[in-house]
Amino acid sequence: MRFGERLARVVSERGPLCVGIDPHPGLLASWGLPQDASGLERFALTCVEAFGAEAAVVKPQSAFFEAHGSRGVAVLERVIADLRSAGALVLVDAKRGDIGSTMAAYAAAYLTEGSPLAGDAVTLSPYLGFGSLEPALAAAEESGRGVFVLALTSNPEGASVQRARGADGVAVAQAVVDAAGARNAGASPLGDVGLVVGATVHELGVDLSGLNGPVLAPGFGAQGATVADLRRLFGDELRGVLPTTSRDVLRHGPSEADLRAATRRVLDSFTV
């Protein structure tokens, strides 16, 4: 089954929520955990137990695992395997982007069957040119996985690149949207090439009508975005939109029960 099909199915069963696993040093401290790989492991595996069977998509942030070296990466590998066993789709938030053989190596790590770092999808950066992502796009297609490509991010520095216009007058972000839409043409119910669009951007400014793919919308909850913001940006139906929350749920740890209850409250907020 292709990624877009699997995503549509799990969202219909669990609701449209992506929960992040971000083992930030501040969160480890607030949970009373040591700032080492053992604390990282306890944090991450508690998250797996709490919402691996609740959320449609779970997004481990690779950088916080990599910061602990090989032991941290080993924890990430276990998290990916355990989340998939729990039925969640795993989006590895690695934001990789490069050219040629290096991009092919990233694709082998995150999108190739048999790699311990391969979840169900990975985040990618297209700002060496959308065409530079071809090795990853090809690997995803071959293995039935997905990618989420950065389009409009909420950090203020992003606008200078993403909203800049080329010689044809088309904004860079719109060119990314259009390229993703071309890859998704004809797919049903959703294509496998998604976009990352911050839920806290003040104005969308791009046309997503031709995307035919999912949209990851980080910033929901603690970063300020609300259900009303999501509907303002993406429309009332929110088809294919995955609101993403991390701190708004993770601050309820280390209690597994409290983390699970927080996940359910966020899910319920979409149906009010």
**CA count, 13 A, side-chain hemisphere, 191:** 22
DSSP 171: B
Q: What is the CATH number of the domain that holds 128?
A: 3.20.20.70
Q: How many CB atoms lie within 10 A of CB 36?
A: 12
Determine the structural domain holding residue 130 and report its residue range. Answer: 3-269
Distance from C-alpha of 248 to C-alpha of 47, rounded to nearest angstrom? 13
Taking the model in full, what pTM does it have?
Answer: 0.96
**CA count, 13 A, side-chain hemisphere, 229:** 19
Residue 185's contacts (CB-CB under 8 Å, 6 or more residues apart) are: 191, 212
Query: What was the pLDDT predicted at 224?
Result: 75
Mean pLDDT by 10 residues, the chain (272 residues): 97 96 97 98 98 97 98 98 98 98 98 98 97 98 98 92 94 97 97 95 91 94 79 84 94 97 91 60
115 phi/psi in degrees, rounded to 5: -75, 135
Q: Just list the catalytic residues.
A: 95
DSSP 57: E
Distance from C-alpha of 73 to C-alpha of 37, rounded to nearest angstrom? 9
How many domains are there within the chain?
A: 1
Ramachandran assignment for 255, one of left (phi > 0), alpha (psi -120 to 50 degrees), beta (any other): beta
Q: Name residue 61's beta-bridge partners.
A: 93
Angle (nearest 5°) at CA 153 between 5 and 57: 30
Query: What was the pLDDT predicted at 222?
Result: 66
Q: How many CB atoms lie within 10 A of CB 102?
A: 13
The predicted-structure confidence for 135-159, as pLDDT tens digits, reads as follows 999 999 999 999 999 999 988 899 9
State the residue for tokens 């395997």.
Answer: 81
**In the structure encoding, which two tokens stand for residue 223, read together?**
């970063």
Dihedral of CA atoms 214, 215, 219, 221 in degrees, nearest 10, equals -50
Query: What was the pLDDT predicted at 6?
Result: 98
Q: Is 101 strand, coil or helix? A: helix
Q: Name residue 121's beta-bridge partners.
A: 91, 146
The predicted-structure confidence for 93-122, as pLDDT tens digits, reads as follows 999 999 999 999 999 999 999 999 999 999
Q: By the 8 A CB rule, do 246 and 225 touch?
A: no
Q: What is the distance of C-alpha 164 from the center of its chain? A: 24
